[in-house]
Structure 1
Amino acid sequence: MPVIKILPHPEYCPQGAELKVATGTNICEALLDNGIHIEHACDMSCACTTCHVIVREGFNSLNEPEEVEEDLLDRAWGLEPQSRLSCQAIVARDNLTVEIPKYSINHAKENH
């Protein structure tokens, strides 16, 4: 089973974490199933950017992003070349290191 190492995040995972996950799981599901309550305002339907993560290690082992994901990522806060929407990034056999950005663009949470 691959391991996802989550870098510390002050709100979602202050101590960081290491999660053993099944191949074929998306990163968002893996986080949620392990008590890391990352935002996912569109219920993982690839319609927002609230589950944006940066894959620090293992990026090339993930499935290729589809055009709709790439278009949405253009709106994500803190976009980097290794950015993915965690709801669309499928874990393969390689271990991953993932960073949850400090901010997200979530109008519901921000009361807009």
Structure 2
Amino acid sequence: MPVLTLMPSGKTVEAAAGTSILAALLAADVQIGHKCGGKAECDGCHVFVLEGRKSLSRIQRLENERLDTIVGVGSKSRLACQAILGEENVTVELLSFV
């Protein structure tokens, strides 16, 4: 089971492969914005993937289009609602909180 590490807190969350980063965070009671309910229609769950990016699902068209509209997006940006965990550990920097 991959471990999701949250920065800057260093908190860790275990989640099954095939789970979105957003779902893993919500299951662990981590507060993160997600106004659209995980449909890639907002920027509330924007995170930077610091480690383990290759283990995540590939960016699909809908996510890519949304990322194009967000200020401050970089090469490590993902929407937590669209990034699906693989088998490797992942470290993300949380950018928004509720």
Quickly name the TM-score band, shorter chain normalised. Answer: over 0.9
Which of 43, 46, 51 is the equivalent residue of 2:45?
A: 51
Aligned pair partner of 1:25 in 19, 26, 34: 19
Bigger CA drift: 87-96 or 73-82?
Answer: 73-82
- Give TM-score scaled by structure 1 length: 0.81
Q: Which residue identity lines up with residue 91 of structure 2 in the other structure?
A: T
Structure 1 unmatched ranges of 5 or more: 9-14
Give the number of the structure whose alpha-carbon radius of gyration is greater: 1
**TM-score w.r.t. structure 2 length?**
0.92
Q: Which has the higher strand share?
A: 2
2:2 aligns to what? 2
Aligned length: 98
Q: Deviations over 1:6-47 (max 9, x none)?
A: 002xxxxxx331111111100001011101110000000111
Aligned to 1:94: 88
Query: Which residues in structure 2 correspond to 1:69-108 (within 5 Å)?
Result: 69-101=63-95
Secondary structure of 1:72's counterpart equals helix
Say which SS state the counterpart of residue 30 (structure 1) adopts.
Answer: helix
Identity %: 40
Distance 1:21 1:77 in 2: 29
Choose between structure 1 and 2 for higher RCO, CA contacts under 8 A separated by at least 6 residues. 2
Gaps of 5+ in 2: none
